[in-house]
């Protein structure tokens, strides 16, 4: 889940799958001023994602998106709600 605030966004991860992929991190706050790029991939045959690049961060490729702490994955079923 992504929660948007006036000056930042917060990525929140819940559940067993999130724990396996990201450990105990649970929540990450990213100030808008730190975001240098946003990549969006629509879901189709595979899951889609929103990947944020941050200043000083290490870029990860498409295959690493599932474990990247700055990436939020979504299914085609969730995509409609995301785009509205």
Has this prediction a pTM greater than 0.85?
no
List, for residues 61-81, the tens digit of each pLDDT value: 555 666 788 888 888 888 877
Distance CA 69, CA 50 (A): 11
Range of the domain at 47: 2-83
- For 17-39, write each residue's pLDDT tens digit: 544 444 455 688 999 999 999 99
> What single string gives the DSSP state of each residue in the chain?
-EEE-SSEEEEE--SHHHHHHHGGG-EEEEEGGGEEEEEEE--SSS-EEEEEEETTPPP--GGGTTT-TTEEEE-HHHHHHHH-
What is the reported pLDDT for 15? 57
Alpha-carbon span 71 to 65, nearest angstrom: 6
Question: What is the tally of structural domains in the chain?
Answer: 1
């Amino acid at each position: 889940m992504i929660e948007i605030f006036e000056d930042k966004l917060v990525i929140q991860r819940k559940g067993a799958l999130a724990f396996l992929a990201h450990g105990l991190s649970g929540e990450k706050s990213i100030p808008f001023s730190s975001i240098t790029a946003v990549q969006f991939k629509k879901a189709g045959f595979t899951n889609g994602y929103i990947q944020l690049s941050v200043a000083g961060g290490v870029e990860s490729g498409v295959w690493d998106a599932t474990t990247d702490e700055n990436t939020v994955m979504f299914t085609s079923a969730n995509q409609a709600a995301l785009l509205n």
